Amino acid sequence: MLKKYILIRRKKAHSSVAEDMTDHTIDGRNSYMMQGLDEDTAIEKAIAGSGDATVIGTRFNRIHRPKPQRDMLMATAACLLVGLSLMIAFSGRELNFLLIHLLFTGIGFAGMIGIYFMDFTKLGKHPKPIYFGVLALVVACFVGRIIAWDIFDRLMLQSIVLLLPLAFAAVVFAVGNKGYRGIIFCVLAYLPLCYIALLNPVIKESLYAIAVCLALFGIAIYKNWFGTKRLYSFLIIFTSHAIFMILLIVNSGHWLLLWLKSAFNPYIDPYAMGYWSVLTREMMSGAQLFGAGYMPLPDNGLIWESELFLIWLAARFGWIAFAAIIAVLLFFIVIGFRRCMKQKNSLGFFVSITLMLMFCIQVFGYVVHNLGIQFLSPASLPLISYSNTAMMINLLLIGILLSVFRTGDEAIDENPHRD
């Protein structure tokens, strides 16, 4: 009876508003019945006491509107424009490379806008297709890189790995409230990600993805989504990850140790593992606050546009340019995490925190790499540096993030997790 009076365009809000209005009416009915009125009269007076239905519906309609994410859309567009402008103005790349990058960026931006208006709750309804689809895509890239090395290059595989935490998050959310059985499901979903890292440790973004997945595990346990004892749950996760670390050390310990030593002291191997780190540190020492500094190699080519874009920027234009890029990205990160913390919907919170963690670890890894500690080489600086696949994937992930922020408050948890 109440739903026909609620004039709210946002259909997802109808159930929650109707429930609130019903509870309010029941409280009013009970109050009037305590005063001696019969039930029918009490209900009529409670409804009448709620006010004019049109006025109430109009007010609710204003409250339950999707929240446009103008500031984050502007920050995204600003990052894209800065990266594209610098690349077009100063890149030594051929025109066809720039056109291809513009095409991928355009596809990614169009996809971001399309996803922005979609229903993010589908991620929680279809965890299996999402998880196995992403896993199949990563495996296909591994196989493709073996068969056609020139087509499936390292940067493409590094970029596809960025999808793994979102797929893992869908699984973790789906098995919440299933106790230790749910934790075992999550461990089984986590193992293939570890195996990917063991297969090819050169693609070190898989270690980024594993770090984010571990963080998601910890968040779910801390919020008691599984309904288990936290200590035992953490022990299960620690044990499974310890096994992975042992296998990783056995499988690639020599290379990992060499990478680690070269990252902190590149001069022990300046012509091999530490070559780019030495050049990076030379540019850092010669960079000025404003204006051009020391450039050891010609300032064109893929290496500057992808993995070392920030230090190239500092060497060519000064540390002020470096700081300006970081400021824009930090604005995006701070606003993003603040909105994550405000999410009332558990799926919205989990999806948004996953995407923000992945964005943040990419930025952190890229900045550290550009400051001379080059252990985990990043695929790209999100939205800024040259990388066709990474640009497109990051834009699609940002579209999901903005969709959560836009409509997360209206989404209803059909099976809310414990807190």
What are 206-219's pLDDT values in tens digits?
Answer: 778 888 888 998 88
pLDDT value of position 6: 47
What is residue 400's predicted lDDT score, i.e. its pLDDT? Answer: 92
Alpha helices in 265-318, H assignment, sequence order: 275-286, 302-305, 309-317
What is the reported pLDDT for 139? Answer: 80
Last residue of a domain, one of 47, 63, 79: 63
Q: Is the pTM of this model over 0.85?
A: no
Q: Are residues 192 and 262 in the same domain?
A: yes
Residues 299, 276 share a domain: yes
Within-domain flag for 279: yes
Query: Are 16 and 111 members of one domain?
Result: no
Final residue of a structural domain among 63, 83, 115: 63
Q: How far apart are CA 225 and CA 218, in angstroms?
A: 10
pLDDT of residue 5: 43
Residue 137 lies in a domain: yes
Query: For residue 253, what are its two tokens?
Result: 């310990």
Residue 244 belongs to a domain: yes
Please, which pLDDT band fits residue 337 given cuts at 50, 70 and 90?
A: very high
Q: Are residues 51 and 122 in the same domain?
A: no
**Is 350 among the domain residues?**
yes
179 lies in a domain? yes
Query: Per-residue confidence at 64, pLDDT binned at 50, 70, 90?
Result: low
How confident is the model at residue 140, as a pLDDT? 81
Q: Which of 22, 47, 63 is the last residue of a domain?
A: 63
Q: What is the DSSP letter of 3?
A: G
Residues 205 and 59 placed together within one structural domain of the fold: no
Asked, for residue 267, whether it belongs to a domain, the answer is yes
Give the model's pLDDT for residue 10: 56
Statement to judge: residues 315 and 362 lie in one domain: yes
Residue 54, pLDDT > 50, answer yes
Distance of CA 301 to CAs 90, 305, 325, Å? 10, 7, 20
Does residue 15 contact residue 412 with C-beta atoms inside 8 Å? yes
Number of independent structural domains in the chain? 2
Domain of residue 49 covers 3-63
Specify whether 15 is located in the same domain as 117: no
- pLDDT category at 149 given cuts 50, 70, 90 is low
User: Looking at the structure, do residues 187 and 215 belong to the same domain, yes or no?
Assistant: yes
> pLDDT tens digits for 287-297?
888 877 777 76
83 and 228, same structural domain? yes
DSSP result, 168-220: HHHHHHHTTTSHHHHHHHHHHHHHHHHHHHHH-TTSTHHHHHHHHHHHHHHHH
Q: Which two tokens stand for residue 119?
A: 């229903």
Contact between 352 and 404 under an 8 Å Cβ cutoff? The reply is yes
Query: What was the pLDDT predicted at 317?
Result: 85
Q: Please give the pLDDT value at position 357.
A: 93
Q: 352 falls in which pLDDT band (50, 70, 90)?
A: very high
Query: Do both 193 and 233 map to the same domain?
Result: yes
CA angle at 211 for the pair 153 and 352, rounded to the nearest 5°: 95
Q: Does 238 share its domain with 120?
A: yes
Is the domain of 392 the same as that of 330? yes
Q: Is residue 414 part of a domain?
A: no
Q: Which two tokens stand for residue 325?
A: 């890029």
334 versus 268: the higher-pLDDT residue is 334
Name the least confident of 56-70, 234-248, 299-313: 56-70
- 395 falls within a domain: yes
The Cα 407–Cα 70 span in angstroms is: 14
Contact between 32 and 45 under an 8 Å Cβ cutoff? The reply is: yes
Side-chain-facing half-sphere of 25: CA atoms under 13 Å = 19
Among the ranges given (252-256, 307-311, 328-332), the one the predictor scored with the smallest mean pLDDT = 252-256
